[in-house]
Amino acid sequence: MSNLRFMRTFAAVARYGSFASAAEHLAMTQSAVSMQMRALEEEFDHPLFDRVGRSVSLNAMGRVLLPHAEQLLTQYQTMRMLAAGIESTAGPVTIGAVESAVSALARAVTQIKQAQPHLEILIQTARSIELTAKLDAGEIDCAVLVEPTGRRPAGVRWTPLYREPLVLLASSALKSASAAKLLETERFLRFDRTQRTGALIDRAVRRQHV
* Residue ranges per structural domain of the chain: 2-58, 70-144, 172-207
State the architecture of 2-58 in CATH terms: Orthogonal Bundle (1.10)
Antiparallel, parallel or unpaired: β 55-58 and 49-52: antiparallel
Q: How does the average pLDDT of the chain come out, rounded?
A: 83
- Residue 151: pLDDT band (50, 70, 90) is low
Per-residue pLDDT, 19: 93
Please count the CA atoms within 13 angstroms of the CA of 26 that sit on its side-chain side.
Answer: 26
Contacts of residue 71, Cβ cutoff 8 Å, sequence gap at least 6: 104, 162
The pLDDT of residue 159 is above 90: no
Fold of 70-144: D-Maltodextrin-Binding Protein; domain 2 (3.40.190)
CA separation for the pair 37, 20 (Å, rounded): 13
Best-predicted range by mean pLDDT among 39-53, 149-163, 192-206? 39-53
